[in-house]
Amino acid sequence: MPTKKKKKKPSASGSASHAALRSGSFKGVNPDVEDELTALESIFGDSIEVDADRQGFTLLIVPHPAEMDANYTSCELQLR
């Protein structure tokens, strides 16, 4: 007869940290989010402004980034 696997009880600290993460009350930033923001900063350079709390950013998109005089239109993308 196969043996039954025991279910692991969730630790109190683990469940509390997941609840804090869902509620947005964590003071630190998710490492995955931090990595993505760093990558975006390296790709877009001066065109991106990351919020002070590292929870969002504003990106200015222009058709010809090297020629500022030739840009007659632009798009500002704000993500939070």
Which tens digit of pLDDT belongs to each residue from 9-53?
Answer: 544 444 444 444 444 433 577 899 889 999 999 999 999 999 998
Domain assignment present for residue 74? The answer is yes
| pTM (2 d.p.) | 0.57
Assess if residue 11 is contained within a domain: no
Kindly state whether residue 9 falls inside one of the protein's structural domains. Answer: no
pLDDT of residue 68: 74
The per-residue pLDDT for 70 is 83
pLDDT band at 65 (very low <50, low <70, confident <90, very high): confident
Q: Does 59 or 22 have the greater pLDDT score?
A: 59
pLDDT recorded at residue 23: 41
Contacts 24+ apart (CB under 8 A), 46-55: 51/80, 53/29, 54/29, 55/29, 55/80
What is the band of 1 on the pLDDT scale with cuts at 50, 70, 90?
low
Q: How many domains does the chain have?
A: 1
- State which residues form the domain around 34: 29-79
Pairing of strands 48-50, 75-79: unpaired
